Amino acid sequence: MTSRLNEREQAVGMALVDWQVPLYPGLERLSGRFCDLQPLSDQRHGTSLYQHILADVEGRNWTYQPYGPFNEESGYRSWLRSVEAGRDPLFFAVLSKATGQALGVASLMRINPEAGSFEIGNVHFTNAMQRTPLATEAIYLLAQCGFALGYRRCEWKCDSLNQPSRAAAERLGFTYEGTFRQAMVYKGRNRDTAWYSIVDTEWPLVKARLERWLSADNFDQNGQQLRALGQLR
């Protein structure tokens, strides 16, 4: 976004004449072609989520999360109950439309209506969901939820050493903005945080590319993609 000069000949940001502070996101179902996002509930989703978590026998999916791994179902279900009623982070369960099973969780967080910004975080997709259209569509649905409400900026942050998360951000269309050094301590170790974003002027093109990739004509009868998302830039 370009700058302008004020009456004192100083460079300042462009005036946002028509922008209004957006509403806070609500706890509502977000529906796509491959998955549904529902407000997270231990009672509705806990059993399915934990069953799929068990496939991660080495606990690799928890390495870059500030919580977990959970060695017992009771501990995981207790964690679900501790976050399910929160407003920030606002947690969703990701359900497969094909099976109805909950396969992962993600949240809207650091929601700042006054600045028009929000973050997609706490992304924990089980092995059954990783590298599938459900994973891409879940992030698309969360981003679209925020931008449809009038937010100006969607953020993605991760441990700078978390290469799968960084690759996912870039594949999805987020722009790398830099790394905050020594930004956090978690699990007894340092975290440098890599920052990514999509802003509202970029979202229409990013949205169109994601929708083209997710469309029915991009998958064959076996559900295999015909064109990779990176080919649709």
| The CATH fold of domain 28-222 | Aminopeptidase (3.40.630)
The amino acid at residue 111 is I
Structure tokens at 184: 């956090």
- pLDDT per residue rounded down to tens, the chain (233 residues): 678 888 888 898 888 888 899 999 987 899 999 999 999 999 999 999 999 999 999 999 999 999 999 989 999 999 999 999 999 999 999 999 999 999 999 999 999 999 999 999 999 999 999 999 999 999 999 999 999 999 999 999 999 999 999 999 999 999 999 999 999 999 999 999 999 999 999 999 999 999 999 999 999 988 899 999 988 87
φ/ψ bin of 191: left (φ > 0), alpha (ψ from -120 to 50), beta (otherwise): beta
Which amino acid type is present at position 52?
Answer: H
Residue 80 phi/psi, 5° resolution? -55, -45
pTM summary value: 0.95
Instruction: Give the pLDDT score at 232.
Output: 81
Report the pLDDT value the prediction gives residue 230, as an integer from 0 to 100: 84
Task: Quote the tokens at residue 24.
Answer: 């806070």
Instruction: Give me the pLDDT at residue 204, please.
Output: 98
DSSP assignment of the chain equals: --EEE-TTS-EEEPP-SS--PPPPPPS--EE-SSEEEEE--HHHHHHHHHHHHTT-TT-GGGTTSSS---SSHHHHHHHHHHHTT-SSSEEEEEEETTT--EEEEEEEEEEETTTTEEEEEEEEE-TTTTTSHHHHHHHHHHHHHHHHTT--EEEEEEETT-HHHHHHHHHHTPEEEEEEEEEEEETTEEEEEEEEEEETTTHHHHHHHHHHHHSGGGB-TTS-BSS-GGGG-
Q: Tens digit of pLDDT for each residue in 35-62? A: 999 999 999 999 999 999 999 999 999 9
